[in-house]
A and B are shown apart, each in its own frame.
Chain A
């Protein structure tokens, strides 16, 4: 029988090796899947993993697009990871993302068609505040009534989605939009527009914010006392209490931070790539970011890599779809397999696998 033994600290070697092994395994399993669907597996894998990065035809466009697609994922995931490290489970980032976007859009539409340099910064503040406030609901319920924050934050996603639909079809509907659902095009309203920073790349302020957040989180976790508290609360809650960590403050801090980051991500999307509030504005970024956070092992640098890897499968997956006439579902399955392998192989960094021979009781040692 095989037996797992927890490593005292995660294995460095496996930390680097597992993502590579997982991608290789996904290529094999995915290749079989594509072959079953009657497509050339080598071509499909090349389109997904190679062409967005290196093909002459696509790379110039898709390389920066990787950052654009990964930006919100990284921004949200970094915020979530700090809470996750402390054992505080905000899984409602999707809702905070929506509310952040709605608040930012409200500011933009409120000023429309006015001018002013302050509109865009104000929208960032509104987006962050919106996400923060939405995350404060589960945080306060947790600290005041000990209500499970996983469940409340999840439930608030549904509420936010309904609010979004009401906004898109009702109170935020574009009065010049021929009655269609959807707000005014915020991207085209210059003072509120999240503009391209380097022409032709699509890179916008949200990408910058994502990297600022990564650096911020890195410093926080490495250098700041709060980072120490976070680690301690996650690994040894009782010791944390003795060390003077106030659990209430920690919950409020972690939930608030992750909510504000998610709200800002929503703000940058609605004023940038998404351009406006629509019924389907939330494309599942808040949930995907949870996966990104774990794939990145809750480490800021890991999250950047995980976000980019996932973005690659999206962008490459789209190429594979129309170049090979693959259904979207095939790419979904492929991504699902990649996640399964990544999650499964993580065991190798945290545990040692031992062969427990019969007759030799390892517990006795």
Chain B
């Protein structure tokens, strides 16, 4: 029963893997929310991605084709949400919840013939001698491709949002859709694209569960990961690098508490499990109360429908 038995290097390497599904889903949702849209259907999109990726990789024998399929499938179900909320002006909260309900059922139907199958294995990337280096070898060079992809998506999203015209347009649309419209930006087109991106990321996150993390297909296997991703975006105050931090913190808390238990410590699991959410609320309050830093708070048009007055 001592802390010494918990190896921090291994802990970090494990939490990176544990956090990858929620990281992918959260970075996608971040872009969606930055565009001013609140999609509560993350869980539904993740699980459709999980089953589609699984089915495609079992059929083709390639986990990479499966991941691609998961992106496409996630984006396709997101398209339902996009059509409802952007073209047909339906309420975003209700549509997102309906999407989760639909996604959970639809994935279960699709996956009926894939229960009890082992998918083709996703190998860790081969970095040669680098993987054998002490400390950094395990943390930096000991993972499968999706861990790196998730990091690249975070970096890419950060760069794109801050340094490109497209990123600026997206943020403008999210902050104030009326002004953005007045400036001639295509509010709906931007939002639909953002929603599709969010769906693709969520789908890929789901596929990470079914192809790498678990790997198998079972009904309801995302077990609430999509909802955690939603909380993460808020925790991160809509900043990509903080999503990464938040996901790793969240994954870290989970992995650490399991490790502490395994090392023989008695910890109040049922109360510890609440802590990430309470911390997130605290972060949210601190951010929003500091009026000098309004740039950190929620996008101005979040959750509101946009209709150009003709």
**Do A and B have CB atoms closer than 8 angstroms in the complex?**
yes
Task: Please report A residues at the B interface, Cβ cutoff 8 Å.
Answer: 3-6, 37, 89, 91, 141, 144-148, 150-152, 154-156, 158-159, 162-163, 165-166, 169-170, 287-288, 290-291, 293-295, 327-337, 339-340, 343-344, 346-347, 350-351, 362-363
Which residue of B40, B91, B298 has the most chain A CB atoms within 10 A of its CB atom? B91
Nearest CB in chain A: distance from B261 CB, A: 16
Contact residue among A3, A329, A362 (Cβ-Cβ distance under 8 Å from B108)? A329
19 CB contacts below 8 A, A to B, read: A141-B284, A145-B289, A151-B234, A154-B230, A155-B280, A156-B277, A158-B277, A162-B273, A162-B274, A291-B94, A294-B91, A327-B112, A329-B104, A329-B106, A335-B102, A339-B102, A344-B88, A347-B89, A362-B310
A158 touches B298 (CB 8 A): no
Beyond A151-B284, A330-B109, list 11 extra A-B contacts (CB 8 Å). Answer: A141-B288, A150-B38, A150-B302, A151-B298, A155-B281, A158-B277, A294-B91, A336-B103, A339-B98, A344-B83, A344-B88
Nearest CB in chain A: distance from B293 CB, A: 12
State in angstroms the CA–CA spacing of A329 and B102 once bound together: 9
A148 touches B302 (CB 8 A): yes
Knowing A332-B104, A333-B109, say if A159 contacts B274 (CB, 8 Å).
Answer: yes
| Residue numbers in B under 8 Å from A288 (CB-CB) | 97
Nearest CB in chain A: distance from B36 CB, A: 13
| Residue numbers in B under 8 Å from A155 (CB-CB) | 231, 234, 277, 280-281, 284
State in angstroms the CA–CA spacing of A226 and B88 once bound together: 31
| Residue numbers in B under 8 Å from A351 (CB-CB) | 89, 307
State in angstroms the CA–CA spacing of A362 and B310 once bound together: 8
* Residue of chain B at shortest CB distance from A166: B270
| Residue numbers in B under 8 Å from A146 (CB-CB) | 288-289, 291, 297
| Residue numbers in B under 8 Å from A152 (CB-CB) | 281, 284
State in angstroms the CA–CA spacing of A114 and B89 once bound together: 54
State in angstroms the CA–CA spacing of A166 and B273 once bound together: 10
B101 touches A332 (CB 8 A): yes
State in angstroms the CA–CA spacing of A148 and B109 once bound together: 37
Knowing A146-B289, A335-B101, A351-B89, say if A343 contacts B94 (CB, 8 Å).
Answer: yes
Nearest CB in chain A: distance from B144 CB, A: 29
| Residue numbers in A under 8 Å from B101 (CB-CB) | 332, 335-336, 339
B1 interface residue, CB < 8 Å from A? no
Knowing A3-B310, A165-B270, say if A89 contacts B278 (CB, 8 Å).
Answer: no
B271 interface residue, CB < 8 Å from A? yes
A91 touches B93 (CB 8 A): yes
| Residue numbers in A under 8 Å from B40 (CB-CB) | 91
Nearest CB in chain B: distance from A92 CB, A: 11
| Residue numbers in A under 8 Å from B298 (CB-CB) | 148, 151
Task: Please report B residues at the A interface, Cβ cutoff 8 Å.
Answer: 38, 40, 80, 83-84, 88-91, 93-95, 97-99, 101-109, 112, 219, 227, 230-231, 234, 270-271, 273-274, 277-278, 280-281, 284-285, 288-289, 291, 297-298, 302-303, 307, 309-310
Knowing A5-B310, A147-B284, A336-B102, say if A327 contacts B109 (CB, 8 Å).
Answer: yes
Which residue of A89, A287, A339 has the most chain B CB atoms within 10 A of its CB atom? A339
Knowing A147-B285, A336-B105, say if A347 contacts B90 (CB, 8 Å).
Answer: yes
Contact residue among B91, B93, B105, B310 (Cβ-Cβ distance under 8 Å from A333)? B105
State in angstroms the CA–CA spacing of A293 and B93 once bound together: 11
| Residue numbers in A under 8 Å from B83 (CB-CB) | 344
A329 touches B109 (CB 8 A): yes
Knowing A91-B93, A329-B109, say if A150 contacts B84 (CB, 8 Å).
Answer: no
Nearest CB in chain A: distance from B34 CB, A: 14
Nearest CB in chain B: distance from A31 CB, A: 15
Nearest CB in chain A: distance from B274 CB, A: 4
| Residue numbers in A under 8 Å from B107 (CB-CB) | 329
B277 touches A290 (CB 8 A): no
| Residue numbers in B under 8 Å from A5 (CB-CB) | 310
B219 touches A329 (CB 8 A): yes
B98 touches A291 (CB 8 A): yes
* Residue of chain B at shortest CB distance from A339: B98
| Residue numbers in B under 8 Å from A333 (CB-CB) | 102, 105-106, 109
| Residue numbers in B under 8 Å from A336 (CB-CB) | 98-99, 101-103, 105-106
Knowing A154-B230, A155-B277, A329-B219, say if A343 contacts B98 (CB, 8 Å).
Answer: yes
